[in-house]
Each structure stands twice: as structure tokens, then as C-alpha cells.
Amino acid sequence: MIGDSVTDMGRIRPLQDGISEGFGDQLGKGYPHIVCGMLNAVYPERLIRVTNAGNSGNSIRALKERWQRDCLDPLPDWVSVLIGINDVWRQFDTPHKPFNHILPDEYEATYRELVEKTLPHLSGGMVLMTPYFIETNTSDAMRARMDEYGAIVKRVAAEYGTLFVDLQAEFNRILQFRHSGNIAWDRVHPNLIGATVIARALLNALEFDYLHIPEADNAPSQH
């Protein structure tokens, strides 16, 4: 699971830490932690390993710079991507620093490049998740811009046949009942509720069977 701070959420470093892995909050306190727990609790026979490769502050430009090391070198079967929030956010919180702004053309071209580079190496597939802004006013400038980047992710997912998760739509559903402050204090970084919204959406895209009962005869050998 690779992305920015929404994925990072305090995960261990270095990425492949054989000593710390398996103890404490090695996956951070966000959606990767929840997804890992659900996958391994419901599908214990699969021996699924989840790796959190989120880096706070990343844009898709920064993601590209570390893609080989943090995404391809660990030899994953599946890759999920959540990137784009900072690409949009920097256009609004630091408008005087255009060198930090990732405009739509660069965002889409880089996203396509990373997907093309990655798919041939996966035995499973990719899940592309849209960036989001937890704001009900679709006329809000940052929300409107974020929707534009979400449309890019949807277009790339359709073109390359990956799984697609519309996180903005998922949060819109929650916002019918809860204020954004109850989900993310800054409308971006999710609390437990927000992280669970993302985790549930990702699991649903993977056709996760919440009622799955493992067969004892398929139990893996213990080492």
C-alpha cells in the first residue's frame, strides 16, 4: 500500500524492517493497519503480508522517485495506490510556490507511467484509489480541483483494467450523516472512522467476503 500521509500514519521505517515487523503499530494507525487485521482475521489460511509504503508529504512526483525501491523491489503480488491529495493541496496552501504544484497533465502522465511499469510484475493486480477532500460543498475550490484529479484516477484505472475505488464517493456517503470534523480534523487526515471508510472501500473492491469461513484442511504448516 503506497501513498502519502493518509497511508503513512506513523508506519515503521525502514520499510523492510524484519525486527520491528509484527510488533506494535508497524503499519501505522491508518487504513493499512485495519486492512491487514481484517485480511488475516478472516482469511488466516492465506498468510497475507501487508506492507505500508506511505510517505507523509508525498506528491506523485515524489512517489515516482522512490517507486522502484519502495514498490517494485519488495516484489508485491498486489499494489494499492492512494496519491494526489498533496498534488492538489499545495496549489492552495502554498500558491506562491508553483514549483511544488503538480498540475493535471503531469499527474496523469506520471500515474500512467507508474501503472504501466508495475502491472507486468504483479501476479495479482493494482487498486487505484482517488484522492479526496472531506467537504460537502462541491463548489469549494479545493474540493472541485480534487474531483478533477479523482476523474484522472478513474480514467487511468479504466484504461489499464485495474480495480478502482472512488474514495470521494465513499466520504460523500458518510457526510450525509456526519460533519467532516467527526471524520478528519483538517478534512484530509482521517481519524479511526475515516481510516475505516478507506479500509472498507478497499476491501470491497477486492470482493472481501466478511463471512468467509476457512477450512481446517487448508491450514498452512507452522514454522
> In whole numbers, what is the pLDDT of the chain averaged over residues?
93
* Mean pLDDT on 106-125: 98
The separation between CA 85 and the C-alpha centre of its own chain, rounded to angstroms, equals 11
Q: Taking every pair of C-alpha atoms in the chain, what is the biggest distance, in angstroms? A: 62
Q: Identify the pLDDT of residue 24.
A: 63
Taking the domains of the chain in order of start, what are their residue ranges? 2-212
Q: Which residues carry out catalysis?
A: 5, 186, 189
Q: Identify the pLDDT of residue 45.
A: 94
Alpha-carbon span 85 to 21, nearest angstrom: 28
In the predicted model, is pLDDT for residue 20 greater than 60?
Answer: no
* Mean pLDDT on 103-131: 98
Give the fold, CATH level 3, of 2-212.
Rossmann fold (3.40.50)
Q: Could you tell me the pLDDT band of residue 16, with boundaries at 50, 70 and 90?
A: low
Q: Identify the pLDDT of residue 25.
A: 73
pLDDT tens profile 135-175: 999 999 999 999 999 999 999 999 999 999 999 999 999 99
Q: Identify the pLDDT of residue 12.
A: 86
Alpha-carbon distances, residue 155 vs 2, 85, 97, 219 (angstroms) = 19, 17, 28, 40
Q: Identify the pLDDT of residue 13.
A: 84
pTM for the model stands at 0.93
Q: How many CA atoms lie less than 13 Å away from 37 in the CB half-sphere?
A: 15
pLDDT tens profile 191-214: 999 999 999 999 999 999 999 999
pLDDT tens profile 84-112: 999 999 999 999 999 999 999 999 999 99
Alpha-carbon span 69 to 194, nearest angstrom: 29
